[in-house]
A = this chain, B = another copy of it.
Amino acid sequence: MIPTELVEWGASGSLIREIAEYGARCAAAVGEENVFNFSIGSPSIAPPPVVGETMLRLLQTVPHERLHAYAPAPGMPEVRERLAGYLKDSFDVPYRAEDVLMTNGSSTALALILRVLLARGGRVLTPVPFFPEYRFYAESAGGALTGVPSEPDTMQPDLCALERALEGDVQAVILNSPNNPSGAVIRRDRLNALASLLESRQEQYGHPIYLIADEPYRELVYDGIEVPFLPAIYRNTVYCYSFSKSLSLPGERIGFLALTPGMDEHDALHDAVLGVLRAYGYLCLPPLFQLTAAECIGRTSDLSIYRRNRDLIYGALCEMGYSCIHPDGAFYLFFRAPGGDAQAFCRRAMQEDLLLVPGDGFGCPDHVRLAYCTAPEKLRRSLPVFRRLAEEYHLG
């Protein structure tokens, strides 16, 4: 009576979260300072002070019948208005309040839109490497995900490979830039070429092919590199955003989905996303967090810490002989597993209380992900462990 696949979904869980929770148990046993838990992308940098100040002020000043009441399912009108206005001013796309639907973060937005687009089957493409839960969201929605190879040194999408994979059953392409786990930021010329490709294939196949922009890391970018805004390049883009990383608020589960004004099937997509939300029993997001997000959009945590962490760990690991993708954004370092087997390397590292995530789930079983959204001091203290492992594996 209880479907086996549902049980397995829950029992298997997300590998990243399993490793992170193992790390928390280790920390409880041997002391937090003795575990190098670089497994999860949960920012250890504090939110900017404005976040805490805003929450305190809202709690103390907003009448309870507004602050603690049910919000309308798509979000509070004034919040949707503010977010649409911010997007419009920042990126010159004429968003209106009715284009913005509040969601419990970017991954929820993504799961919702895949549930809508893949309900009748079909495939979604995404360049490798990709966030492992993409596959799960696609399959549990009734469809499938195909990872498409990227250029190995830069992790820029390989347009020829995308072109070959883009058959008639493809409903959408997910792009995640800055990328988790590689830190790559997709360049504008690639995006322009991809948009042309999608436009011609839409015409050929006679149905829309959506781009899904998964952009929780938009603000986390270094060296002044541009993160082009996809909805301005390709009309049929569904934009998914989260405040988890920019404001260091992953636990609050606050983000949104924005439909591009004038996109194909705009109103049907809007209603279908709301319909799925309703079936899930998720009525609305907490007003406290909606109002905080609306007030704080555009602000960020102190990202200079991430840049210094990036410089430190990328520099040190390259110097030791690790083969690393240069991260232009996000807070991950993706490097080739010494010995070529990421699972084996991560198990070995775990013996040294160094927790990393093997690249298998990301579509790269020979790479390893290190999350450097951590205290710089801890990153520095982990270097001798990396050096010992480098020697053991005869790197450099």
Q: B residues within 8 A CB of A3?
A: 116, 119-120, 272
In the complex, the answer to whether B279 meets A9 with C-beta atoms within 8 Å is yes
In the complex, the answer to whether A46 meets B72 with C-beta atoms within 8 Å is no
Q: Determine the distance from Cα of A288 to Cα of B251 in the docked complex, in whole angstroms.
A: 9
Nearest residue, chain B, Cβ from A254: B286
Q: B residues within 8 A CB of A68?
A: 47, 248-252
> Which residue of B21, B278, B287 is within 8 Å of A136 (Cβ)?
B278
Tell me what chain A mostly uses at the interface: helix, strand, loop, or mixed: helix
In the complex, the answer to whether B42 meets A69 with C-beta atoms within 8 Å is yes
In the complex, the answer to whether B275 meets A11 with C-beta atoms within 8 Å is yes
Q: B residues within 8 A CB of A11?
A: 271, 274-275
Confirm or deny: A30 has a beta carbon within 8 angstroms of a beta carbon on chain B.
Answer: no
Confirm or deny: A93 has a beta carbon within 8 angstroms of a beta carbon on chain B.
Answer: no
Smallest beta-carbon distance A117→chain B, Å: 7
Q: How many residues on the A side are at the interface (Cβ–Cβ under 8 A)?
A: 84
The contact string, 1 if C-beta is below 8 Å from chain B, for chain A 1-42, is 111011111110110010011000000000000000000101
In the complex, the answer to whether B276 meets A9 with C-beta atoms within 8 Å is yes
Q: B residues within 8 A CB of A249?
A: 68
Supposing A7-B271, A281-B111 touch, asked if A2 and B117 sit within 8 A by C-beta, the answer is yes
Confirm or deny: A296 has a beta carbon within 8 angstroms of a beta carbon on chain B.
Answer: no
Nearest residue, chain B, Cβ from A273: B10
